[in-house]
Copies of this chain bind each other. A is one copy, B any other.
C-alpha cells in the first residue's frame, strides 16, 4: 500500500467555517477520484503543543494511482479554491508499507 500524508498549519485568520469548508470539500474526493483506496482527514485534537492543524491521509494501490490523485483536476481545483491561500506551513510525505 502506498500512503500520501499532507499536514497543514493554517494562517491565523482561518476560522472554523473555513476549516469546515475544507473538510467538506475533501470528503468529496474519494468518490470523485476512483484511484483513492482509503481517505482519512481531520483536525488536530489539541493534545500537544506545536502540532499542525489539519491532516489528510490517502492510501493507494500504486505510485501511479497516487500521482493520478495528486495531479487530478478536481484535486488541484480544491487546493486552489480552499487550501492554497490559507496555509502558513505544509509537511508532506509518501511512503510504502506492507498490508
Contact = CB atoms under 8 A, between A and B. Distances in A.
B96 A45 contact: yes
B97 A40 contact: yes
Given A45-B2, A63-B45, A55 B7 contact: no
30 contacts: A2-B45, A3-B57, A5-B5, A5-B7, A5-B55, A5-B57, A7-B7, A7-B91, A7-B93, A40-B97, A41-B95, A41-B97, A42-B95, A42-B97, A44-B93, A44-B94, A45-B63, A45-B95, A47-B66, A47-B67, A48-B70, A48-B92, A50-B92, A51-B92, A51-B94, A52-B92, A52-B93, A55-B95, A57-B57, A91-B91
Interface of A: 2-3, 5, 7, 40-45, 47-48, 50-55, 57, 63, 66-67, 70, 91-97
